[in-house]
Amino acid sequence: MPRKVDHESRRRALAEAVCALAAERGAEAVTLRDVAARAGVSMGAVQRAFATRDDMLVFALEHVGERVMTRVRAKRVRPGHGSPLATLANELALLNKARRAEAAVWLAFVAQAAFTPRLSKVLRGSYRELLGAIATALDAEEALALLALADGLTLHVLVGQLTPARAKKILDAHLSRLADEREQSSTTV
């Protein structure tokens, strides 16, 4: 009797292998063979899960985006954890040590997306969803600026330009200025 395979679980496990390899070497260096070896499956198993390498990369990027959005949604609704906007911004910036690998993967995919339209499309969708989450607390321009700041700080931490603590201090200072501006504009109305 043939063994029954949960294809969605297999695809997620392969996406995790893609992410681990992308964090180590960048998305452009990820091969089907390396993914099979990392996941402990045959090349045929990878090829049955994904028709092409691009399909595999797109799925892995969507997988990372889903993980981030799941955390963002959870952070937005948890009371008693400080400012919802600050909590959300700190989650987006991927500054803590536990998120460093995820940030490296995100950056690898961002770099690859400049040359891969399908990845670029997935990233634009992820950014739209993130902006929607931020825009519940800010106007569209402020939300876009905050997301760009979070991305930039993440990049600076990854390349060693800033420590995570310094980046968090910069992010917190920006959020404090935003809160002050919002408070001033609400009292002048």
Structure tokens at 97: 């040590």
Assigned domain for 85 exists: yes
Whether 2 is covered by a domain: the verdict is no
What CA–CA distance (Å, rounded) separates 78 from 148?
A: 24
Please check whether residue 1 lies inside any domain of the structure: no
Measured distance CA(89)–CA(99) in Å, rounded = 14
Query: In which element (H, E) is residue 23 found?
Result: helix 7-25
Residues 135-181: tens digit of each pLDDT: 877 888 988 999 999 999 999 999 999 999 999 999 999 988 988 88
Is residue 182 scored above 80 in pLDDT?
A: no
- Could you give the CA distance from residue 30 to residue 41 in angstroms, rounded to a whole number? 15
Q: How far apart are CA 130 and CA 98, in angstroms?
A: 20
Question: How many CA atoms lie within 13 Å of 48's alpha carbon, on the beta-carbon side?
Answer: 10
3-class DSSP assignment, residue 41: coil
Q: How many domains are contained in the chain? A: 1
Q: Is residue 61 part of a domain?
A: yes
pLDDT computed for residue 3 by the predictor: 60
b/e code 73-90 from CB counts within 10 Å (16+ = b)? eebbeeeeeeeebbbbbb
- Give every CB contact of residue 110 below 8 A, 6+ residues apart in sequence: 123
- Pick the more confident residue, 158 or 75: 158
Confidence of residue 97 (pLDDT cuts 50, 70, 90): confident
Q: What are 64's two structure tokens?
A: 């990372």
Q: What is the pTM of this model?
A: 0.80
The answer to whether residue 22 sits within a structural domain is yes
Looking up residue 61, the CATH number of its domain turns out to be 1.10.357.10
* CA angle (39, 103, 46) in 5-degree steps: 20
Range of the domain at 166: 7-187
